[in-house]
Amino acid sequence: MTGPDAIAGLRMRTLDLLAEWTPIRSVAGNEAGLQVMAQTLIAHLRDDLGATIVADGLKLDPPVVHARIERGAPVTILLYNMYDVMPATLEGWSIDPFIGGVIEGPKGPRYVARGAENNKGPMAAMLVALDHLVAVSALDANIEILLEGQEETGSGTLRRYLTAQDTPVRRASTALFPSFCEYGGGPPRIYFGFKGLAQGRIAVESGAWGGPAKPCHASNSPWIANPIWELAKALAGLDGGSRGKVALPAPLAPVLDELAAAFDPQAELAFRATSRFSRDGTPRELLEHVLTAAHLNLAEISSSPLGGRSIIPTGASARFDMRLPAGLDPADEIARLVRDCAPALLSLDDAYPGCWFDPAALGFAELAWSYRALGAKPQSWPWAIGAAPAYAFAGVSDAFIIGGLGHGGNAHGPDEFVELSGIDRFIQSLLLWLPAIAAKGRS
């Protein structure tokens, strides 16, 4: 195992990269910032890691940074990460989010910045760990690297890049998404898949049902219909958010059995920092509900024009996101939603399916071993309750695995951070995990 002095050196290299990358505002919609971040990563991969840049992804908007380290090995590992971050203002931050720096936290020093946890911090440490393994000849594997700038808005460009018939992505033994997975300081979770996602709007517009053609005084409400009331009626018929359901695939049934036996709903409440579950049930019933059913979430309700008072508006809409377990066809669920919300109209922004992988696939057992070797007891889930476009990796790899120790927090919020000790644990876990995959793949 790499000694503490070496780990401290790798942590400092990670912080140096973060100091360079944090000021680059690679936020959705900031085309210049995304381009600068992509070019910065290309220079680092080419000049520091000696990787070959595969040019195809650079034509895309935002660029998919695709690099390759060819070592003539029998095993190929695909490393994925993301360089886009969420927007941020100064409000609520202890330090400028796009300058960043180390401050003292409740559990020791932490690096605070936008992207510290999600996901510039893990990406920087991933590349530092990779560089170290290659330099000391401790990783007998070819490496494909994919870094995208659109994860926070659906990964559409990367999905098209991966699923194109002539994709330049070389088939890998396994695809890995290194991240800080000791969320909230809890046990690291191993997910054998991810849900899919559908996003869009449910809307009622005046022209479709005879409401006012332009905003009119609220005194007319006794005889002129209001689109907000019509939208409320449509939403009320959507069954409290629960949609279609699947049976858990047989290879994942033992995973649910083990998880349900130890699952603590109250600990989950504390982990999620919420006040209560939206339904009652045994631990197993709660897990089956969240894992096997599609769930509709309403993220925003608005009317047009915005900011109206004492008027009947001309339209109203609700932004929705629906998470879909593996095995449900997004097209079927969207068609059902269209029927159920009528006469309101549905417009779809994006959709992709859920996906699961065989627990015996290369990378899962090695991840669990790396966790235990560093004193962590992993918790396995059939698949994550969150969405990720894992299906797009299925054509180029036998698995898509998120993993890595390390504690960060406040992703998407003020004072996003990663503990410096978390960077150390993350690097240590990768220095164990990646060589173990390469060794197992050769056997």
Buried-state track 10-19, b at ≥16 Cβ within 10 A, e below 16: bbebbbebbb
The mean pLDDT of the chain is: 93
Strand partners for 302:
317
pLDDT score, position 164: 96
**Structural domains of the chain ordered from first start:** 4-192+357-441 (3.40.630.10), 200-349 (3.30.70.360)
One-letter amino acid identity for 172? A
- 423 pLDDT tier (thresholds 50, 70, 90): very high
- 343 pLDDT tier (thresholds 50, 70, 90): confident
- 414 pLDDT tier (thresholds 50, 70, 90): very high
Give the percent of the chain with pLDDT over 70: 95
Per residue in 96-108, pLDDT tens? Answer: 999 999 999 999 9
Average pLDDT value for residue range 112-125: 97
pLDDT > 80? residue 379 = yes
pLDDT score, position 268: 73
pLDDT > 80? residue 62 = yes
pLDDT score, position 61: 92
pLDDT score, position 223: 87
- Sign of the torsion angle spanned by Cα atoms 326, 327, 329, 335: negative
137 token code pair: 């000849």
- Who has greater pLDDT, 270 or 252? 252
One-letter amino acid identity for 237? G
pLDDT score, position 149: 97
Residue 39: phi and psi, rounded to 5, are: -65, -35
Q: Does the pTM exceed 0.85?
A: yes
pLDDT score, position 272: 53
- Who has greater pLDDT, 68 or 277? 68
